[in-house]
């Protein structure tokens, strides 16, 4: 589903954030990427998530070569394929939990009645249907991250891309967040989890380390057989 071949990213200031990175990820896989601060994790996430383009190399997702698309083509592909979860939650402070989860569905042009059904089903999935009308400021950090997870899955994208989702959470909320991501992977979502905490790579089918823009596989577990 995801095929990254010899991808490099050189920022305009000359920083080589990724150096000839290759990585293929199959449907339903759980891949974890660890690395120190500045190793290129977010740069790789932005490329996988079609938010940015590689300087060199080929990135193919669902059979589409991303570097051949313009900005709006990348946005469409992103909306269809990927749900994002960020360290800082990235919720809109002035919008309720409901409205935050609904926003990507509005962008996708989904009719109002269907949006309502999907928003509630996503909020129920993360155990927060009762908090639908709360603003982010009226929720705990762990609850805000669960709203962000609901937003990521509301449009039912095949891939969940999480960049340090536990970075702003205490250990208990962090563990709950990771367990929820594991459950979503078990339900069929491909999961890419970026973290600097090796503990959170537990359960991943494959673990990679990024070091100064170089990607190296450090462990591999058998992929669950389906059926
Ligand atoms: N927009 C940018 N312009 C120039 N250089 C950048 C840009 N974004 C990142 N970099 C540089 O690229 C390198 C990789 O940054 P990146 O944000 O991918 O690291 P990271 O692994 O996500 O770090 P952290 O764990 O701190 O989030 C760093 O040296 C950083 O300074
Ligand atoms: Mg980062």
**Closest of 70, 21, 5 to residue 208, by C-alpha:** 21
Cβ atoms of 218 and 204 within 8 Å: the answer is: no
Each residue of 61-116: pLDDT tens digit?
Answer: 999 999 999 999 999 999 899 999 998 999 999 999 999 999 999 988 999 999 99
Question: Rounded to an integer, what distance in angstroms lies between the CA atom of residue 77 and that of residue 19?
Answer: 25
Q: Which residues line ligand 1 (CB under 6 A)?
A: 11, 13, 15, 17, 35, 37-43, 196
Q: Is residue 186 part of a domain?
A: yes
Q: In this structure, is residue 14 part of a structural domain?
A: no
**Ligand 2 mean position to 60 CA, how many Å?**
22
Give the total number of structural domains in the chain. 1
pLDDT at 218: 92
Residue 65 within any structural domain of the chain: no
Domain contains 78: yes
Ligand 1, pocket-test mutation among 14, 19, 38, 39, most atoms within 8 A of CB: 38
Residue 107's pLDDT is what? Answer: 87
DSSP 3-state percent helix, strand, coil across the chain (nearest 5): 40, 25, 35
For ligand 1, atom 16, which residue shows the shortest CA distance? 40
Q: Which domain does 212 fall in, by range? A: 30-50+70-220
Question: What percentage of the chain reaches a pLDDT higher than 70?
Answer: 97
- Half-sphere exposure for 137 (CA within 13 Å, toward CB): 4
- Separation of alpha carbons 43 and 6, rounded Å: 14
Confidence of residue 225 (pLDDT cuts 50, 70, 90): low
- Give the contacts of 220 (CB within 8 A, at least 6 positions apart): 205, 206, 207
Under the banding of pLDDT at 50, 70 and 90, the label for residue 219 is confident
From the alpha carbon of 39, which atom of ligand 1 is closest? Answer: 21
Residues 191-215 have a mean pLDDT of 94
Is 226 domain-assigned?
no
Q: How far apart are CA 20 and CA 139, in angstroms?
A: 42
Q: Is residue 110 part of a domain?
A: yes
Q: Give 87 Cα–ligand 2 centroid separation in angstroms.
A: 9
User: What predicted TM-score, i.e. pTM, was given to this entire model?
Assistant: 0.93
For residue 224, pLDDT beyond 70: no
**Could you tell which of 11, 208, 211 is best to mutate to test the pocket of ligand 1, judged by most ligand atoms within 8 Å of the CB?**
11
Helices (H) and strands (E) in the chain, counts: 6, 10
CATH of the domain at 131: 3.40.50.300
Q: How do residues 8-39 score in pLDDT, each as one tens digit?
A: 999 999 999 999 999 999 999 999 999 999 99
Is residue 6 a part of any domain in this protein?
A: no
pLDDT band at 211 (very low <50, low <70, confident <90, very high): very high
In a domain, 24, yes or no: no
Residue 16's nearest CA partner among 159, 214, 170 is 214
Residues 113-120, mean pLDDT to the nearest whole number: 97
């Amino acid at each position: 589903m995801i095929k990254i071949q010899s991808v490099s990213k050189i920022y305009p200031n000359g920083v080589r954030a990724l150096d000839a990175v290759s990585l293929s990820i199959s449907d339903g896989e759980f891949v974890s990427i660890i690395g120190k601060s500045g190793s290129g994790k977010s740069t790789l996430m932005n490329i996988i998530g079609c938010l940015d383009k590689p300087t060199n190399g080929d990135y193919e997702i669902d059979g589409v070569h991303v570097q051949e698309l313009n900005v709006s083509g990348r946005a469409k592909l992103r909306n269809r394929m990927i749900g994002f979860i960020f360290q800082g939650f990235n919720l809109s402070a002035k919008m309720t939990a409901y409205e935050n989860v609904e926003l990507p569905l509005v962008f996708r042009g989904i009719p109002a009645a269907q949006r309502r059904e999907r928003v509630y089903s996503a909020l129920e999935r993360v155990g927060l249907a009762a908090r639908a009308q709360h603003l982010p400021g009226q929720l705990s950090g762990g609850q805000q991250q669960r709203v962000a997870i609901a937003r990521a899955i509301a449009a039912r994208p095949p891939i969940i891309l999480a960049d340090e989702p536990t970075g702003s959470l205490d250990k208990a909320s962090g563990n709950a967040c990771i367990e929820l991501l594991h459950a979503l992977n078990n339900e069929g979502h491909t999961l890419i989890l970026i973290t600097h905490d090796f503990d959170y790579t537990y359960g991943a089918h494959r673990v990679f380390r990024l070091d100064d823009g170089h990607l190296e596989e450090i462990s591999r577990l058998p992929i669950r057989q389906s059926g």
